[in-house]
Every structure is written in structure tokens, then in C-alpha cells.
Amino acid sequence: MSAVPPVLVPYVADLVVYDVTGLPGTHIGMPSTSLTFVLPVDEPLDVGWRGNEGTRGEFWANVAGLHVGPAEIRHRGRQRGVYLDLTVAGARALLGVPAAGLAGALVEAAEVDPALRDLPDRLAGSDPDRWAVLVERALVDALARHDAPGPRAEVGRALARLTRGARVAQVADEVRLSRRHLGELVRAETGVTPKEWQRLARFERSHALVRKGVPIATVAARCGYADQSHLTREWVALAGCSPTEWKRRELPSVQDEDVSDPPG
């Protein structure tokens, strides 16, 4: 993981230079409240939404919008590149479009911002220890280029409260909007409803705990699921597998503590 420059902190939740070696297979791209931006090196990212082969493509600078199902990333064994999680505000600030405009999409970054077209070539021609700096510089340039306004203040406050699990009606009261109007604004900004955002946020919290090895029953209690069975059903719906199956499939691919996970 690379430290994100302060100017990018509101827009980039995570930046990882990854180099993972394992058996060829299919990696699960997990849903979350962030957009993902993946810049592979050596070979393009082969990705599509699970169950929809028509969305599968090969990308050198892939942006994936918010989604409520898993992506499937096919790989030949070694994966190298740079992976970023972009916040909803980051979609506007760095790509020049609201997150809603990319919801459920898998696109080349250059289709959204043509100025990013040469970024994959710059990475390919540089040493891996320079990749993070090159990406950060490109995003700082994008920030200056777009100068886009952020989401409405009440939408930002509402998303923060929904992320922490507050009820939709309660959040609407707090930001002084009707529940219907709040839903319209959240969907216009993110591409998902307030309930879907809550669901993604809760799943995201559970994913982080499962990754750390926290027992599944404990994860369910901490994240507000009714019980372990409820958590498992949500994982099957959102990730396409149970937490136990995910750990069996994904965690062994990490070779040591200094090597980051593959994208997704």
C-alpha cells in the first residue's frame, strides 16, 4: 500500500502497487462503496461481471463503477500493476463525472478522460518503484484539469451516516430531506439507492474482517447481520460465494506479507 498524497486523500481511499504470483484462475472482484481503477502491467485486465459474459473485456486502465454483484478477473498466474479505490467524490474530481455515470460499468479510463490514455504506457516503461508516483502525478493533474464541484453537502453527510448503518428515514430527517428526495439525490450521485449503499457498506465491513481472519459468527455480530446465516446469504448474493469459500479461493494466493492482494 502506498501513502496517498494529502491533496488526493478525499478522492482516493486506497492505492496499492501489486505483484502477486499464483496458479492461473479467476479472482473475485468484490462489491464496495468505492469505484475501482486498475492499471495492469504486462498484460491487460481480463474482467467482466459474473453471469454476464457480454461485459467481459480486456483493459489497460479499467474503471469499474459501483455494483451490487461480483466481477470475475481471469488471470494467468502473475498479476502486476496499480490498484486504486476511488471515493464517490473522486469520480467527479478525478474523472469529471458523477459516480452514477459509471454505475455498473466496466470501461477504459480514457473513455471517461482522454488525458489518461498514455498512463498505461508510462507505467510499462518505468520501474515498479516509480509506478505509484506516476499514478499520483496523473491524478493530481486530473484534479486540476477537471476542477469539478463535489457532491451536494447533504448527500455527502447522508452517505457518511448510511455507511455507519443509520436508518434511511433517520438520515433523511438529519439532512432535512424527505426520504424520497434523499433517495433521488443519492441515486443521482452514486447510481445506487440508499438501501443498496447501506448493503454495500455493511458487506465491505464484513469483507475487511473476514480478510483479517475474524470468526464468521463474530463478523456477523459486529456488522449488524441477524446471524451467521444472514451474513452468508448476503455474501452469496454480493460476492457469489460464502465467506468460507472466498477465504479458500482467495487468501492462499497471497505469497507473503509484503505482497499485496490482486485487484478487487
**Angle at CA of residue 10, ends 8 and 12, nearest 5°:** 60
pLDDT of residue 166: 94
Strand intervals (E) in the chain: 12-21, 25-29, 35-41, 45-49, 57-59, 62-64, 71-75, 78-86, 106-108
Q: For residues 171 and 194, what is the distance between their CA atoms, to the nearest angstrom?
A: 10
Per-residue pLDDT of the chain (264 residues; tens, 9 = 90+): 567 899 999 999 999 999 988 889 999 999 999 999 999 999 999 999 999 999 999 999 999 999 999 999 999 988 999 999 999 999 999 999 999 999 999 999 999 999 999 999 999 999 999 999 999 999 999 999 997 777 889 999 999 999 999 999 999 999 999 999 999 999 999 999 999 999 999 999 999 999 999 999 999 999 999 999 999 999 999 999 999 999 998 875 433 333 345 555
Which residues neighbour 184 within 8 Å (Cβ) at sequence distance 6 or greater? none
pLDDT of residue 256: 31
User: Residue 144 corresponds to which cell in the numbers above?
Assistant: 486540476
DSSP state of 140: H
This prediction's pTM: 0.91
- Closest to 45 (Cα-Cα) out of 31, 32, 34, 56: 56
- 107-117 as b/e: b if 16+ CB within 10 A: bbbbebbeebe
